[in-house]
Structure 1
Amino acid sequence: MKRRSPFKPLLLSFSLFFCGYATAATDCGSITLSPCPTPFDQHLPDTHDMLNWNQKDRVVGFRNDYRNYAGDVFRHGPSTPLAHADKTLVDARYQINGNTYHLADYLKRENVAGMLVLKNGKVAYKYFAEGNTDSTLWTSRSVGKSVVSTLVGIAIKQGKIHSLDDKVTAYEPDLKGTAWDGVTLKQLMQHTSGVAWNEDYTNPKSDFAQLTQCEAQAGTYDCVRNIVTHLKRAHPAGEQWSYSSGGAWLLGDVLEHATGMSLAAYLQQTLWQPNGMASDGVWHAYQPGKHDVGAHGFNATLEDWARFGEFILRDGRLPNGKQILPANWVNDAANWTKAQHSVSPAHPDGLYGYQWWNNAIPVNAQHVVPSPAGGLQHSLWALGIYGQIIMVNRAENLVIVQWSTWPQAEPSFSAQPLEAALMYSAIAQQLH
């Protein structure tokens, strides 16, 4: 059964008013945006079944996330079109177990719905599939975690958060006596809180699956907060890395407590408009105008995903040169935690930082070209389930963004993530 809340237009209108937007906008059905995203699909898949959507539903659902849920709009300001690179990407290829795959093969194997390559800040390659366009708003899934961690850095630079060593309870005192008591913001951001969370996307009873069910009904904020508040401690904070959308949700909540603003409003004020983004975006709201979900729910155009990557590539500087992230923040974000389970034979330097991933070609990968030694090193990867990606490599001045509908939410690192690492390394070699 197709579901659509009759309250969404009211909620969205409230969120626009709350954030005080003043730019010209257009009525796009139940939401006001500039410009209206296209395509505008008439029938939306049921959000209750998000983790079980088929490929067609994923395409429609991911580009209509901003309509499927209540949301807060973050407005763009003046922007400059992205220039085209003199050297464009025509093809790139990689090998696995003696098989060679070209760029066209990669796009099919990864179910790519959109891809953009910026070299030296200029467009070297752009690709759309499934009818997507430059105005399509695609959902980020957990790529949004990397946006939230960046906003935390901006809040520290502004003095709204004192330090990553602050305890969570300094901002949310009602969590004293819970499993979160004693956890620092850094541990929360590195997913080393020690608080138990089941992220299994295939288990309908997992904590993450329960979170998605909360999102498909009224009272989402209270429903999710009840789950997160009553979690148990699994081990001491700081000892083990364990990926947690529950912890990421709490990080977003802490940020909103610290700034007194929703994630969308804070993003608009500090980064979206000052950085010259070209289109409005929408953040999935649990309480419109007040609370947006910190674990995912960031929806924006392909080019604006890339502009965010460029901001990270510039070490947190706006186009006018103003530094709005703390000094060395991006380096610290890629200082992968050495907690147990982050370090492995495949990634001996660690797998996870400030909600950014180390998705370099595994050092123990065999029968691959480029080789681990010849592949991209020291990249930051924002990764979301089903293949949402922002990759930033400062040494090569390279940003690659990708929208996908992988058949599995989280395939093994020997599958799609490995092929992405190989292809991106091959692209870097082609454009070097």
Structure 2
Amino acid sequence: MKRRIVQWTAALLILLVGGMGYFHTELRQLYHTVRLFEPELIVRNFSNMAQIFPSITIPRIGPIDQFKHRPQTLPSTFSYQDTEYSIQKWLSASGTTALVVLKGDTITFESYYQGTHEDDARISWSMAKSFLSALFGVAVEEGVITDLNTTVTDYVPSLKGSGYDGVSIKDVLQMSSGVYFNEDYGDFNSDINRMGRLMALGGSFDEFAATLQRWRAPGTYMAYVSIDTHVLGMVLRAATGQRIADYFKAKLWSKLQPEGDAIYLTDSTGEPMVLGGLNILSRDYLRFGKLYRDFGRLNGEQIIPAQWIKDSITPDAPHLIPGKRANANTHWGYGYQWWIPEHANQEFVAIGIYGQYIYINRQADVVIVKNSTNTHFMANHYESMDIALAAFRAIAHSLAVSPHLKAATDL
């Protein structure tokens, strides 16, 4: 870690000396990028990303989908691998900034931590991928994308000659593109960190995607490749003839009845970072989870196609099925930009680095949102996910019998 910081600082100083006065905005963004995850700054940064990077705001409109509110205590402990964990100690150790629990239409627990507030627009990181999947489902329902087996290059010819040449849309949706992408946040020269510097200094995500090359045969191995989601965004733009922000507003944000604006971080061309740049309120992440829990319907309107949601959370190939397997680098299963845990009982999860979660449990009629600044997440992120899942299941189980919820009052 220290060596990486020294490398970044040296690079920054060179740029400062050589570019002072010419690239003020880019240098400021690079400076904040270098310090984005520093322990003393990470909490503030994660609630103020639009102050660091270029962004576009999608305003909320119309009525707000109101929740009822009936506070209930969390279970004191949960079990993971035959060990009892304290819920409160886990919340603290995992850098929690927000935890909101919904049973039915009633918030049973809501708390904010580390000096953050309910009106903070919190970075989604990879939870944004599940939002992009929702938009994709609408486009399929509308018929502008007719066949998921069509190749991405049929829609985006600029990707010909890259690792995406000839890869089906479905394989990209399922993180099985076969494209090589180093997502090691601790490696200064990794692809994900190159993307971060591109975002800070200016450049096009579209052009970046076209530089990536093939690693494995598509549709045979599940490997998490964040840029896959950007490629899906490229396909969506080409198919609909609309900007992502406009389609997002028309098909999702104007219908979800959120209480806050949506803020997307963008590249220097103004294209949203659909792979992880969404910033919204914790309760609005909850509303999105509720929409998926309720099969895409809100107040009688089918916003996201029910069949798309079913397909999104149903792994349909051996390399995607939850459980230990040779053709994946995780025991978690994967759908259309959604994670499926082992032994899932009507459960699925949107997950972002540093501990962002939308946990959905249909059987328990529960949605849980957790925002975090867990600086230990990347050390063993699949174990972090397993522990969080155990905690969420314990919370959902504690709400299995909730006779007092009927007496809930409106917020």
TM range (shorter): 0.7 to 0.9
Q: How big is the shift at 1:349?
A: 8.5
Alignment counterpart, residue 62 of structure 2, candidates 78, 97, 100: 78
**Cα distance, 1:414–1:77 mapped onto 2, change above 3 Å:** closer
Q: How big is the shift at 1:176?
A: 2.6
**Cα distance, 1:349–1:186 mapped onto 2, change above 3 Å:** same
TM-score by length of 1: 0.80
Matched pairs, number? 377
Which residue of the partner structure matches residue 162 of structure 2? 178
Which residue of the partner structure matches residue 324 of structure 1? 303
Alignment counterpart, residue 353 of structure 2, candidates 366, 382, 385: 385
Q: How big is the shift at 1:231?
A: 1.6
- Report if the CA contact (8 A) 1:241-1:339 is conserved: no
Within the alignment, does 1:357 sit opposite 2:348 as a pair?
no
Which residue of the partner structure matches residue 312 of structure 2? 333
Alignment counterpart, residue 34 of structure 2, candidates 31, 35, 49: 49
Alignment counterpart, residue 201 of structure 1, candidates 185, 193, 200: 185
Within the alignment, does 1:294 sit opposite 2:277 as a pair?
no
In structure 1, list runs of 5 or more residues that go unmatched.
Answer: 9-42, 364-375
**Cα distance, 1:82–1:332 mapped onto 2, change above 3 Å:** same
**Cα distance, 1:201–1:88 mapped onto 2, change above 3 Å:** same
Within the alignment, does 1:102 sit opposite 2:81 as a pair?
no
Which residue of the partner structure matches residue 264 of structure 2? 283
Q: How big is the shift at 1:292?
A: 0.9
SS at match of 1:382: strand
SS at match of 2:161: coil
CA distance in 2, matches of 1:238, 1:389: 26
Aligned counterparts, 1:1-40, within 5 A: none
One-letter code of the match for 2:295?
D
1:120-164 superposed Cα distances (whole Å, 9 cap, x missing partner) = 021010010122222100000001011111110011112222232
One-letter code of the match for 2:337?
Q
**Cα distance, 1:287–1:427 mapped onto 2, change above 3 Å:** same
Aligned counterparts, 1:209-224, within 5 A: 209-218=193-202, 220-221=203-204, 224=205
CA distance in 2, matches of 1:192, 1:50: 32
- Report if the CA contact (8 A) 1:82-1:123 is conserved: no
- Report if the CA contact (8 A) 1:82-1:122 is conserved: no
Q: Percent of aligned pairs with the same residue?
A: 27
More helix by share: 2
Which residue of the partner structure matches residue 399 of structure 1? 367
Q: How big is the shift at 1:78?
A: 2.2
Which residue of the partner structure matches residue 91 of structure 1? 75
Within the alignment, does 1:64 sit opposite 2:48 as a pair?
yes
TM-score by length of 2: 0.84
- Report if the CA contact (8 A) 1:120-1:398 is conserved: yes
Q: How big is the shift at 1:81?
A: 5.6
CA distance in 2, matches of 1:174, 1:83: 45
1:339-367 superposed Cα distances (whole Å, 9 cap, x missing partner) = 5486543899861111111234xx6xxxx
**Cα distance, 1:86–1:139 mapped onto 2, change above 3 Å:** closer
One-letter code of the match for 2:368?
I
CA distance in 2, matches of 1:120, 1:92: 22
- Report if the CA contact (8 A) 2:80-2:390 is conserved: no
CA distance in 2, matches of 1:325, 1:81: 16
CA distance in 1, matches of 2:367, 2:225: 26
1:30-85 superposed Cα distances (whole Å, 9 cap, x missing partner) = xxxxxxxxxxxxx999333257x222221111111122111111111123363334
Within the alignment, does 1:168 sit opposite 2:168 as a pair?
no
